[in-house]
Every structure is written in structure tokens, then in C-alpha cells.
Amino acid sequence: MAIWGLKGNVKSITTYTYSVVGKNGNIEKDSLKAIDSTIFNRMGFLLEVRDRRHDTLFPRWIRKYDEHDNLIEKDNYSGAKLVMQELNRYDDKNNMIEQTIFEHEWKAPSDSIVKSDIHFTYKDSADCQIVESIADRKGKPWYSQKRVLNSNRDVISERIFYPWDTDKKYNIQIGIYKYDALGNMLEKDCFDANNTLDFRFVHKYDGKGNEVEDLARRKDDSIQYRDVKTYDDSGNITGYTYYKHDGSINSEWHCKYQKFDATGNWVKQVSYKNGTPETITRRTVEYY
């Protein structure tokens, strides 16, 4: 459950988010803004996310897995309408070999279903795995991709070719990745078809592996954006600061956790935007 910042074998989380009002110098909840429900299986994999629309909890995401914990179906909804479905097939080594995606394409006066097919092949060596994929969309070539994975199955390089793109500079995109000893991504360098650096994404972490900075630099080394995060001693995120390219602050968000359950998961949070109280969130956590 670490990826969700949760402790224990969590079955579900239901969050209730309220607007706030000041009373006698205190921050109190006002009207209910949203209800979200997230359900996990016993292995900690996401099964379903629901949110409230017009006083009804609609599915937002649904995930299905096989007996090997491979994701075999992904359904995304908008309200009660299924807008994207992803179906995956695997070989006897649990490598994904086929992915079929159905998406709604919103065009007036009506929408249609767009089908994409992606096929994967694998080549293994002593220290890496090469994954090649070919994708078709609407029955036409969409892209081809080659990725190299290290022994931890982290992507260390990738090359994507878009045959439909007439821009010979950007119809090929190349990515080079670097990781620390814990598997945290440190850098991603993005190159165009001429092998010219376009962007560099840099990530920094604290001693517990929490990401504390996310930075993007352009080809001239100027900053595109910079985001800084803070955490409490339990690893709960306590703040974001978003910086503009000139180093000035774009916006700030931080929160205070006021209550925790017996397992150590928070059940009440107050959030602030640019120093002003914004929401009170209460949540119930159910365990297996």
C-alpha cells in the first residue's frame, strides 16, 4: 500500500470533502463538496474508484486482474458512461503481449468508438530486457516503440516513432532514464529525432524515498517548472509549492492532519491554498 501512502492491509477508503467556514476563530466544515470511494484487493491493487455525481456514487475506474495479479481489464467512466476500456493479454511469463483499447471520441453531433491495438515482443539478456511494441489506431499505424528495461524492470531507454507525423524533427522521440540504488527515477532526458536534448526532468528524494522536488529544464537549461513537496515523519505529504519558470511562487498548498486511526492512517485533514483554509476532509478506512 506504500504507493498510496497507506498503512496496513486496507480494503477501502471513503473520503468526504467539505468546504470550510470560520466560526469564532475556528475552522469548521461547511457544505459537502465530494465523496470518493477507493477499493483495493488483498494484494493492495486498485479495484475500483467511485465518485459522487448528483448524489449518486458512480464508478470512475474499475480494474480486474488474473490469478497472477496481471491487470487484464481497465474500465474508465464519465458518470454512468463507459468512456475507455483496456483489455490486456499475457504470455506464460506474465509479459503483456497484446493490448486492445476502446475509447469514446467526442465529436458533434455524436461520439464514436475508436479502437487501438498494441502488440508487444520481448527479448531477454543477462542484464536487461528489450520490449518492442507496434500500435495501430483506427486501423492505421499509430506508433512503434522500443524500450530497454534493467534487471529491476525499470525503463532505462525508449525510442518512439510516429509514422503519421510529417514533422521529421519530432516524429521520433527518445528518452534516457537514470535511477538511484532504491529504484527512484533521478532523471529523464528527452531527445528529438536529431538527438538534440529537448527537456530534462529531474527528481530529488529525501532519506525515506519520498520525492521532494520535481524539476523540468528546457534545452537551453532554463527552468520550465519546479515543484517542491514536504512530508511529516510518517511519510504523509504536508505541502506542495509550485514555482514559475522565473523562480517566483505560482501557488502553495499545504495541509494539517488532525486525527489518525489505530493503524496510523489519517482520518481528518485540513488543507490550505496560498495560506487560506480550503477544505476539511474526513475519511473512513476499512481493513481486511
Exposed, middle or buried: residue 280 (CB in 10 Å: 0-12, 13-18, 19+)? Answer: buried
> How confident is the model at residue 155, as a pLDDT?
97
Q: Where are the domains of the chain?
A: 1-62+257-288
Q: Which residue has the cell 492532519?
A: 257
SS (H, E, C) 13-80: EEEEEEEEEEECCEEEEEEEEEEEEEEECCCCCEEEEEEEECCEEEEEEEEEECCCCCEEEEEEEECC
Q: Which of 269, 246, 217, 216 is nearest to 5 (CA)?
A: 269
> How confident is the model at residue 195, as a pLDDT?
93
Cα separation values, 145 from 125, 245, 267, 271, Å: 19, 32, 43, 41
> How confident is the model at residue 59, as a pLDDT?
76
SS3 84: strand
Take residue 7 and report the three cell numbers written for it: 498503512
- Is residue 95 within 8 Å of residue 120, measured between CB atoms? yes
Q: What is the pLDDT of residues 73-132, one digit of tens each?
A: 999 998 778 899 999 999 999 999 999 999 987 665 566 889 999 999 999 988 899 999
Cα separation values, 43 from 14, 62, 190, Å: 19, 16, 35
> Which residues does 143 contact at the CB level (< 8 Å), separation at least 6?
134, 135, 160, 161, 162, 163
> How confident is the model at residue 100, as a pLDDT?
98
- pLDDT means per 10 residues, the chain with 288 residues, are 84 95 83 92 94 74 96 91 94 96 75 91 92 95 97 95 89 96 96 94 95 95 96 94 94 96 96 94 97
SS3 263: coil
Exposed, middle or buried: residue 260 (CB in 10 Å: 0-12, 13-18, 19+)? Answer: middle
